[in-house]
Amino acid sequence: MGRCFNYKLLLNLCNFLFLICGLLMIVSGLYLFSDNKRILLSRLLAASSDRLSSLPQPLLFYISLGVAIAGFVAILAAVVGFWASCLHTYCFLSVYFLSVVVLLLTESVLCLAITLWPHCLGISLDENQMVRSLQSNYGVPGQEQFTNAMDLAQARFGCCGMRSSLDYDTSLWRLQSYGQRIWPVPLSCCVLANAGQSMAYLDPKPANESICQSIERESYERERHTESCLPHLDNWYREQYGIFLGGSLVLALVEFCVLLSIIMSCTGLATQRARLKKPILEVRAQKVKKRQTLIENIYEPEVELRENSSHSINGIYLGPASRHVSSEDFKELYIKPRDLYKHHHIVTGKPVPVDRPMQMRNYLV
């Protein structure tokens, strides 16, 4: 009983950790959902994918919702786990086990896909594709989200263009005059005087706009960012993925502990039932044994008699008695009156008087 109690205590502890993980996932999803800059910056990760770029919201927007929903499902599974621990039956433990396995498999497949095949999800940071995406989307009407994301990356990382500032020379923003024709680069590529402000990328104010927009490299090097943004985006993506992978590993570890505790609880339940059945089986075995002993005592096949005794009925000698009398001889006790008459006639050779049936029964007995 104590061991079963320990198994239930272990299961409740793992359920509590699982519940905490679910709450943390909901909080993380809501925090990520409220982080507008992070979500906006993830728009550049899907720039090379037509499927993801056609979505109305950036990639992290949907990931944040998915994390929050997964946390809610984890909380429901933990509640089922507490219920299964209280009822302590195979049915509820099996349901809880299957739900945790489904969550673990889904999480594992998603992490494996992001790690080994990110292009399957549309996440690709190929340099040529990113440059083409910049030249075809930046500053174009209807692509304000991509434009703001690029301005955010350039203001935050201190870079200009995916590969270099020359990417804007052949862009639609420059060729179609979506921006001012005299600007070779956007203002977000310049060293900003309001860089400390959180919304500086939406209203960039260069420290020296004329030098920043100069064509000569020797003039703008101090007032314009010259690094490419692609390495910074790649590092940022790896950082976000590392956070996601670390949280997934912690959740997977807790789920493995939950599965192990469920298995141990099932083992403890089986042991408890076996212990409860054992006294009942022992009592039944003792009853059966007593019943067999009683039957053997009543229906003993042979009864020892005195060796020199003789068998006679009312002075009539029936021959020497054997040392053992079979149980078949006791059938005479239950012989019907008609059989009694027949037996008397065979032994004595005389018919039985009609008025002495009871005497004949007594005499045979």
pLDDT at res. 171: 87
Under 8 Å CB-to-CB from 114, ≥6 apart: which residues? 121, 123, 241, 244
Q: What is the mean pLDDT of residues 114-143?
A: 79
Who has greater pLDDT, 360 or 258?
258
269's torsion region: left (phi>0), alpha (psi -120 to 50) or beta? alpha
As a whole number, mean pLDDT of residues 98-104 equals: 84
Sign of the Cα torsion 253, 258, 262, 265 reads positive
Over range 22-36, report the average pLDDT.
92
**Bridge partners, 303 (sequence order):** 325
pLDDT of residue 148: 92
Assign 334 a pLDDT band (cuts: 50, 70, 90): very low
Question: Residue 177, exposed/middle/buried by CB under 10 A (0-12, 13-18, 19+)?
Answer: exposed
Residues in the chain: 365
Q: What is the pLDDT of residue 338?
A: 52
pLDDT band at 30 (very low <50, low <70, confident <90, very high): very high
Nearest CA to 240 out of 73, 152, 118, 150 is that of 118
Strand partners, 342: none
Average pLDDT, integer, range 227-236: 91
CB 87 within 8 A of CB 94: no
Whole-number percent of the chain with pLDDT over 70? 65
Task: Indicate the pTM of the whole model.
Answer: 0.66
Residue 361: per-residue pLDDT: 44
Nearest to 360 by CA among 321, 320, 313, 326: 313
328 pLDDT higher than 70: no
DSSP one-letter string for 263-300: HHHHHHHHHHHHHHHHHHHHHHHHHHHHHHHHHHHHT-
β-bridge partners, 206: 192
Q: 257-299 pLDDT, tens per residue?
A: 888 888 877 776 655 555 555 565 555 666 666 666 655 555 4
Residue 31 has pLDDT above 90, yes or no: yes
| pLDDT given at position 302 | 47
Mean pLDDT in residue range 202-209: 88
User: What pLDDT band is residue 175 in, cutting at 50, 70 and 90?
Assistant: confident
